[in-house]
Structure 1
Amino acid sequence: MRPGTELSLEERVLSGLDEEQRLVASTLTGPLCVLAGAGTGKTRAITHRIAYGVHSGVYQPQRLLAVTFTARAAAEMRSRLRDLGVGSVQARTFHAAALRQLQFFWPQAIGGELPQLLEHKAAIIAESARRLRLSTDRATVRDLAAEVEWAKVSMLTPETYLEHAQGRGTPGGFDLLTMSRVFQSYEDVKTDRNLIDFEDVLLITVGILQEDDRVAATVREQYRHFVVDEYQDVSPLQQRLLELWLGGREELCVVGDASQTIYSFTGASARHLLDFGRRYPNAQLVKLVRDYRSTPQVVQLANNLLAARRPAGRQADAAWSQPLQLVAQRPAGPAPSFVECSDDEAEAAAIAKGIGALIEAGTQPAQIAVLFRTNGQSEAYEQALSAAGIGYQLRGGERFFARKEVRDAILSLRAASRADQTSDHDDQPAVALAQQVRDVLASIGFTEQAPAGGGAVRERWESLAALVALADELVVSRGAEFRLADFVAELQERSAVQHAPTVQGVTLASLHSAKGLEWDAVFLVGLSEGLMPISFADTAEAVDEERRLLYVGITRAREFLSLSWSLSRTPGGRANRKPSRFLDGLRPQSAVSRGAASQSPRRQRAVAKPPALCRVCGKALSSGAERKIGRCAECPPSYQEATFEALRQWRLEEARSAQLPAFMIFTDATLVAVAESEPASLEELSAVAGVGPSKLERYGAAVLQVMSDQQQA
């Protein structure tokens, strides 16, 4: 560009975008569907689209709503929009947008005060179970709460739950009939206490928009254009709310990747994304496949993982979408490593050693992550990193803004900003902000050099250092007008949505919680059968979701990627674990490791074993619960509810007497099988799945007495 030549609007906003991103950013009207693979710059494309639309006058910033799924993602989007000069555009989660509307319209649509919002379900779920005299522990309550959330985002009521939940197994160890009663009890407790939960926020908003034409018209007048990120994660309830916001209009842009659908258990469905072209026949489709995040070696491994998926039946194949073929844009890097260890302890030690080598070679700890399938796996890595003197942060642990040193830091910065505003140094250049932050935090213990060693002192320093680094970053992105008061306001906003800055420590996180994040180096650990795929993934669709979950894990890595597993859980234990089936063909010399030719005769006999069949319809039983009951989920139960409840009451009393969890006596599935088979002798009872010799000897006579009492009642 010649000196003195001013860039055009299009050049200013669209420069730096690739061809496909530029097409997204310049397509401002009509339905638009963006299929965006991992690392392809989707957030960049849609924020530049919004900015271009506002600056060109096509969009009014107050009349556009950008929606995403986490508060952190919404905060990140707002930050980018501010940097592009369109900070007045609203970027919110579905729940935040709906809650704001509900708070405004509740008085005129319903009247009175809005009920109190229930932040956490656990206590109310536990009370609901107690009202039904059900024995629960923390894990059971968590599972019951998750099932209630699934039912509500699927727009089910306690009355319609049973019909639509067939095949979902035994939530919290309870059969579906009991689950529906817990669901109803939960709703009753909320009503008694004038509470609503987050799902109610969406449901009530949907109800008001459906029933009140004036409210619907007001909302549609307010919002003319919509952008929805992570559209593959939309639930039926969120989709219905979006349709009501639109009111038949087509000013909608959706962005997503079906290969990153990993929240089906919460009600999310990629069908809304995949069927977008059917709902909007004139929609424009743009595919983003240029991966700017990862090296060609990482990208190739991710592509190969999805390509290795084989047909798994009509239903599963219909749910599986053709994955995007990513094309790496970065220079070549190291090949992903595959590490087999003798046991979990050895695996954790090997990972800690590898992390230490990376840090010594210059990789920042904050750019390293250890990702696992379940949160229970983290402890071994916490211990190994501590033993190696390596700091870490556990994603999902104590929230950054809840830490004492962070709260103290914000208070000190707020006080300093007030003094700064009332001083006579208004002409002080804003570039001094970074030094101001350092000076203020020095008064509460910050130093330029990190303290030696680890522990609480190091963790405190890491928190303060993260605030200093954020100040440095914002001075660059926001420019010379960004002052200390602006920095405090930024921290307050980030605190409200838990948008924490980067902390210098190795991240430990579950694969689910790693979605949307990225690191220079990623260690994917515990990749053995039973953990990846997880043992309770007992359908083809569930296994496909586990494959997508591993794909998400792989695509978090920019350059260095390690995949590891162990052969035994404990040192000296039997080496009976197998590497994950997903690694077949990906790791060296594993292309035929699971082929029929490599199977032992014993393994071949196990594969050839005929499947268990439903005693009612003869259909093959797919889940452990179905095999235990001897009946598929689609066939109606044949037991008397009074008999089942009598067995549950006996189990509860027995569990209390023995001070054991109820499921250790008999699971709900076993009690259903007993109630349906109506055994009259120990021999008949022994034929019920789940009643082994020891339990038959310990509880057999008591169970038969319960059955006899019920027959005589």
Structure 2
Amino acid sequence: MPGVIPEKVNVEQQAAITHGHGPLLIIAGAGTGKTTVVTERIADLIMNRQVPADNILALTFTDKAADEMQDRVERILPYGYVDLWVTTFHSFGQRLLQAHALDIGLPDNFRLLNQTEQWMLIRNHLDEFELNYYRPLGNPTKFISALVKHFSRLKDEDISPEEYIKYARALTKGKAKKSLPEEDVAEADRVMEMAKAYETYTKLLLDEGALDFGDLILYTLKLLRERPAILKKYQHQFQHILVDEFQDTNWAQFELIKRLAAPRNNLAVVGDDDQSIYKFRGASVSNILEFEKDFPDAKVIVLTKNYRTKQSILDLSYQFIQLNNPDRLEAKIMDGGALHQTAQDGELKVVKRLKAQRDGQGEIELMHVQTQEEEARVVADKITEMKEKNSQAAWNDFCLLVRANDHAELFIQEFEKRGMPYTFLAARGLFTKPLVLDVLAYLRLLDNYHESAAVHRILGHQLFNVPQRDIIELTHIAKKKAWSLFEAMEHCDEVTLSMEGNKGIEQLMTLVASHTALAQQKNVGEVVLAFLNDSGYLKDITKVDDTKSRDLVRLLKQFYATVQKFLAGKPEGTVREFLAYIQHVTESGDAGALEHDVESGPETIRIMTIHSAKGLEFPYVFVCNAVDQRFPSMDRKDAIEVPDALVREILPSGDAHLQEERRLMYVAITRARDGIFFTAAEDYGGTRRKKPSQFLYELKLLEPPVKAKSKAEPLPERLFQPSPPTPMGSFIGVGAGNDRYNFTKLSTYAKCPWQYRYAFVLQVPRRGSYQLSYGTSMHNALKNFFALWNTRKTDASLKSPYVSLEELLTMYERSFVDEWYDTKKKRSDYFAKGKESLTEWYKQVSKYPPEVLAVEQPFNLKVEEFVINGSIDRVDELSKNKKTGQARVKLVDYKTGKFKDKFEKEDKYQLLIYMLAAQDPNILNAEVEELQYYFLDENKDNTLKPTQKDTDAAKEWVVDSIKKIRSGDFRPTPSKIVCSFCDFKEICEFRAI
């Protein structure tokens, strides 16, 4: 049927579209029209070669790509069809397994678990896993995410539990454990622990009637291997198979493809090894690199005509990516291979170099500045300048690409300051959006009136309009009377509040009373809708049809989809059960997926990660934060790695991580049509200046560097607090609290100034923690022990040890703080752990009794004009200075956490503050010889011998921290580690999860 091939396709594209039988590798460089080739090839097979539509299988990686491909094919075909198998790998596996589940012993109505649900399954059955190495008592869920990822990687490599256990046994097979080195035995035990955990996890899934995404491929392979008749059925059906983005396939997916394609091998794969950037998701670039070995008779077609980017930018990207040789496909195929042609002089002529089909040279520039704030300013300046010069330019012609989401913050702040429209296309973060935090805070309030953090957030919302001064008054009386914030609201007549504040509180109390009753009768979905409607929230965000309102409605829709998903598994799910579900979701590290339609929506500057930009294009692209350890990023290996002996993927000869980062830069550069701009700064707020990214040298952009000058006036040294799109409880005018400080306050400020603001400026009441309860129990027991010890020591008739073990354990039992433990078992475990630790500690103390000078020694230390207070757990006298009579002492601080063999900066500062206090003539007037942390759980110590340099650094840290606090500089510094343990993460829109 003539006319199916569009006239505009080039020679190489047409050859790929019309290829007949046999394997075909289409190497499609960036911007070469691969989607056109795939869709036109499907249409050609149907219309010109009379292949029935349901005899063609086209596989890709995202639902969006599959939908787009199917839409294009449908537009090309002049008639309908029975079925078109254009689908993702996982949807294809799910379809086959649902049809043939019983053939391999699976439930035909299996549930499909996402990554978060896998985490929750393991968490709920943690006691069934025989974990030792990977289950620390202090944080038993610490390694669950690592386990989930490990199991996923095993499935990517098509490794079964039986194979893993067999490998683990082989590590010690035929060898007596006693004859093996201790480290070899420990490693063998660790591997066996993982192998058995994998077996347990697999069994749990089947017991629950569930599969995870990796199972969809693994069990489909099992089906085709163990049921030859079913394999033959689908081999006969799928006469032609096409795979898009082939470089992103993992080992198991390629195995599945090869089995289905045999024996015809009418397999066409489209990909580009230079754009393989999903190693963290299990992608195996070796699949495309080794394709010709699997299919020696494969035809290879290279698409080199680029319809997107100007030549100078293409040349830049090409010379750069060649640094990945010899582990690139272009370099691997030898003389005479399909990717090369022999020139007249006998040398190889490489044909993978992309050739621009658009005239003119692109703009390439490096903007290298001093500070990160200046970096944001020069980007904003450049965009403004280019838009002014080109009247046709639109805001969405510009895109900022960052290596990680948190690198975008200062650019966002600068755009907001200037009123420049932007859209931040983060892939995750639904549960940190202000609107979602509002709804969750209200649900927490309904579930527990004494959840003061939630009450604080709701009180400060514009719906109720309670002035911040009134909230501070309520917080003050709550603290004074030992009330929750809700109880303070109930007694608000005892406080002088504004008329506006009283009105808002009355409105909130009425709403809470109504919805509390509703929550006892209806599921959480109905309660959420009632809040949105009764409070006027929904009305408020929908009354104006603008970009902001549409974004809020979109977020609300996505959040309500989360509620509906929860209710699908528990139709009568209550508010409390939903909150527990959300707690588990966030504990797993899931911040909530965000959906964006990049190619539609308002005219704004786009900000996104490079991974998110794959497949997109923009006239002007800015690659930001091009500095060492940001891009390329640091190599973060899997916490639990698959043993090399089990990995089937062929590993590169070079640095795999650096090569992946280089491919990521290549993808970033090739998103640009007309201009590519690289930005870097020297100062990103740390103690060391950042070095430029090695990629800038490899791109030959630093000879010489282009020093960009900002047109904007420099911002003052102290920036104002950021203003979220929908402020909740944000109050700039509050002072920094009283003039007395302690190490806890300063270390909180060092972790995150915004956390300090919640804790010590606004003084938001917060929930206790079982770790704190346990630590307090141990400290109190030892305090009482040495108090009695020192008392009895003065009795000459008594000998050491002055206090018995039985007395110590009795003190511990009486001191034990029985609060905030999640379960009775956890309380019992911690109580037993404390007894065991103290028993071992007692052996050491009774054998080598210290000369205890003071216990819980309080101090108020003056550092310049500031006062630091605190208490030293224990002061041991080592000797006397005969000349001065001063005691030479060791300061001991007890810890109940995990032993640290190295002193972090802040660890030193705590002990050094204690040392300054002990040396003070008005406190102890002692000579400090040693500083020691004693880790009670492991009965290990770490001792520091202080230097003058250490002391000076501690003083400087104290003074600098307090000055920043008093200046009101509370800019948030979120990080996954800090935020995951923050008491205010539920109400903080800046949290990083």
Which TM-score bucket, shorter chain as reference?
Answer: 0.5 to 0.7
Asked whether the equivalents of residues 66 and 88 of structure 2 are also in contact (C-alpha less than 8 Å), the reply is yes
2:26 corresponds to which residue?
A: 34
2:181 corresponds to which residue?
A: none
2:677 corresponds to which residue?
A: 562
Asked whether the equivalents of residues 129 and 136 of structure 1 are also in contact (C-alpha less than 8 Å), the reply is no
CA distance in 1, matches of 2:276, 2:930: 43
Which of 70, 77, 89 is matched with 1:94 structurally?
Answer: 89
**Unpaired runs of 5+ in structure 1?**
1-8, 167-173, 405-443, 464-494, 594-648, 668-692, 706-713
Q: State, as a whole percentage, how many aligned pairs show the same letter.
A: 26
CA distance in 2, matches of 1:261, 1:300: 19
CA RMSD of aligned residues (A): 4.4
CA distance in 1, matches of 2:938, 2:226: 55
Confirm whether residue 363 of structure 1 aligns to residue 393 of structure 2: yes
Per-residue CA deviation, residues 245-292 of structure 1 (Å, 9 max, x unaligned), is: 223221111111111112223332222222222222222111001111
Per-residue CA deviation, residues 3-24 of structure 1 (Å, 9 max, x unaligned), is: xxxxxx4434231101100111
1:431 corresponds to which residue?
A: none
One-letter amino acid of the counterpart of residue 427, structure 2: G
Confirm whether residue 393 of structure 1 aligns to residue 424 of structure 2: yes
| Cα deviation, residue 127, structure 1 | 4.3
User: Mapping of 1:28-427 within 5 angstroms?
Assistant: 28-85=20-77, 88=81, 89-110=84-105, 112-120=107-115, 121-127=118-124, 132=131, 133-134=135-136, 141-158=144-161, 160-161=163-164, 179-180=194-195, 182-309=197-324, 324-359=352-387, 361=390, 362-389=392-419, 390-397=421-428
Confirm whether residue 510 of structure 1 aligns to residue 609 of structure 2: yes
CA distance in 2, matches of 1:566, 1:663: 37
| Cα deviation, residue 68, structure 1 | 0.9
CA distance in 2, matches of 1:80, 1:653: 68
One-letter amino acid of the counterpart of residue 374, structure 1: A
| Cα deviation, residue 581, structure 1 | 0.8
Which of 664, 668, 682 is matched with 1:553 structurally?
Answer: 668
CA distance in 2, matches of 1:275, 1:206: 21
Under a length normalisation based on structure 1, what TM-score does the superposition of the two structures give?
Answer: 0.65
Asked whether the equivalents of residues 610 and 668 of structure 2 are also in contact (C-alpha less than 8 Å), the reply is yes
| Cα deviation, residue 295, structure 1 | 1.2
| Cα deviation, residue 66, structure 1 | 0.6
Q: 2:359 is paired with a residue of what secondary structure?
A: coil
**Unpaired runs of 5+ in structure 2?**
172-188, 340-349, 436-541, 556-592, 638-653, 707-832, 839-893, 904-928, 942-993
User: Mapping of 1:428-439 within 5 angstroms?
Assistant: none
Asked whether the equivalents of residues 385 and 392 of structure 1 are also in contact (C-alpha less than 8 Å), the reply is no
Q: 1:565 is paired with a residue of what secondary structure?
A: strand
| Cα deviation, residue 499, structure 1 | 6.9
| Cα deviation, residue 337, structure 1 | 1.3
2:566 corresponds to which residue?
A: none
One-letter amino acid of the counterpart of residue 102, structure 1: L
Confirm whether residue 519 of structure 1 aligns to residue 618 of structure 2: yes
Asked whether the equivalents of residues 368 and 506 of structure 1 are also in contact (C-alpha less than 8 Å), the reply is yes
Under a length normalisation based on structure 2, what TM-score does the superposition of the two structures give?
Answer: 0.48
Tell me: CA distance 1:282–1:91, structure 2 relative to 1, closer, same or farther (3 Å): same
Between 546-555 and 23-32, the greater mean CA deviation after superposition: 23-32
1:486 corresponds to which residue?
A: none
Asked whether the equivalents of residues 333 and 560 of structure 1 are also in contact (C-alpha less than 8 Å), the reply is no
Tell me: CA distance 1:125–1:523, structure 2 relative to 1, closer, same or farther (3 Å): farther
CA distance in 1, matches of 2:193, 2:384: 50
Tell me: CA distance 1:340–1:659, structure 2 relative to 1, closer, same or farther (3 Å): farther
| Cα deviation, residue 35, structure 1 | 0.9
Tell me: CA distance 1:548–1:112, structure 2 relative to 1, closer, same or farther (3 Å): closer
Asked whether the equivalents of residues 26 and 302 of structure 2 are also in contact (C-alpha less than 8 Å), the reply is yes
CA distance in 2, matches of 1:663, 1:395: 37
Tell me: CA distance 1:379–1:592, structure 2 relative to 1, closer, same or farther (3 Å): closer
CA distance in 1, matches of 2:59, 2:326: 35
1:578 corresponds to which residue?
A: 691
Q: 2:5 is paired with a residue of what secondary structure?
A: helix
Confirm whether residue 698 of structure 1 aligns to residue 934 of structure 2: yes
Tell me: CA distance 1:395–1:251, structure 2 relative to 1, closer, same or farther (3 Å): same
Asked whether the equivalents of residues 155 and 236 of structure 1 are also in contact (C-alpha less than 8 Å), the reply is yes
| Cα deviation, residue 217, structure 1 | 2.4
| Cα deviation, residue 197, structure 1 | 0.3
Per-residue CA deviation, residues 95-115 of structure 1 (Å, 9 max, x unaligned), is: 011111111122455365332
User: Which structure ranks higher in relative contact order (CA pairs < 8 Å, sequence separation ≥ 6)?
Assistant: 1
Which of 523, 530, 542 is matched with 2:629 structurally?
Answer: 530
Between 141-150 and 248-257, the greater mean CA deviation after superposition: 141-150
Between 150-159 and 89-98, the greater mean CA deviation after superposition: 150-159
Tell me: CA distance 1:384–1:10, structure 2 relative to 1, closer, same or farther (3 Å): farther
Between 118-127 and 284-293, the greater mean CA deviation after superposition: 118-127
1:457 corresponds to which residue?
A: 549
| Cα deviation, residue 589, structure 1 | 4.3
Q: 1:340 is paired with a residue of what secondary structure?
A: strand
Per-residue CA deviation, residues 678-705 of structure 1 (Å, 9 max, x unaligned), is: xxxxxxxxxxxxxxx9998534994569
Q: 2:674 is paired with a residue of what secondary structure?
A: strand
CA distance in 1, matches of 2:682, 2:264: 56
One-letter amino acid of the counterpart of residue 8, structure 2: G
Q: 1:14 is paired with a residue of what secondary structure?
A: coil
Tell me: CA distance 1:221–1:277, structure 2 relative to 1, closer, same or farther (3 Å): same
Per-residue CA deviation, residues 110-156 of structure 1 (Å, 9 max, x unaligned), is: 36533211123332344465754446599854444333211211112
Tell me: CA distance 1:385–1:666, structure 2 relative to 1, closer, same or farther (3 Å): same
Tell me: CA distance 1:245–1:696, structure 2 relative to 1, closer, same or farther (3 Å): farther
CA distance in 1, matches of 2:607, 2:705: 33
Between 153-162 and 176-185, the greater mean CA deviation after superposition: 176-185
| Cα deviation, residue 39, structure 1 | 0.8
Q: 2:287 is paired with a residue of what secondary structure?
A: helix
Which of 2, 16, 35 is matched with 2:8 structurally?
Answer: 16
Between 201-210 and 533-542, the greater mean CA deviation after superposition: 533-542
Count of matched residue positions in the alignment of Structure 1 and Structure 2: 528
Asked whether the equivalents of residues 527 and 563 of structure 1 are also in contact (C-alpha less than 8 Å), the reply is yes
One-letter amino acid of the counterpart of residue 377, structure 1: H
Tell me: CA distance 1:220–1:290, structure 2 relative to 1, closer, same or farther (3 Å): same
One-letter amino acid of the counterpart of residue 159, structure 2: L
| Cα deviation, residue 226, structure 1 | 0.3
CA distance in 2, matches of 1:524, 1:496: 23
Q: Bigger radius of gyration, 1 or 2?
A: 2
Per-residue CA deviation, residues 614-653 of structure 1 (Å, 9 max, x unaligned), is: xxxxxxxxxxxxxxxxxxxxxxxxxxxxxxxxxxx99x99
Asked whether the equivalents of residues 537 and 543 of structure 1 are also in contact (C-alpha less than 8 Å), the reply is no
Tell me: CA distance 1:152–1:12, structure 2 relative to 1, closer, same or farther (3 Å): closer
CA distance in 2, matches of 1:353, 1:31: 51
Asked whether the equivalents of residues 365 and 506 of structure 1 are also in contact (C-alpha less than 8 Å), the reply is yes
Q: 1:523 is paired with a residue of what secondary structure?
A: strand
Tell me: CA distance 1:334–1:36, structure 2 relative to 1, closer, same or farther (3 Å): closer
User: Mapping of 1:611-626 within 5 angstroms?
Assistant: none
One-letter amino acid of the counterpart of residue 283, structure 1: A
| Cα deviation, residue 218, structure 1 | 2.3
| Cα deviation, residue 325, structure 1 | 1.4
2:923 corresponds to which residue?
A: none
Asked whether the equivalents of residues 72 and 497 of structure 1 are also in contact (C-alpha less than 8 Å), the reply is no
Tell me: CA distance 1:155–1:112, structure 2 relative to 1, closer, same or farther (3 Å): closer
CA distance in 1, matches of 2:694, 2:49: 53
Asked whether the equivalents of residues 69 and 94 of structure 1 are also in contact (C-alpha less than 8 Å), the reply is yes
Q: 1:13 is paired with a residue of what secondary structure?
A: coil
CA distance in 1, matches of 2:5, 2:704: 47
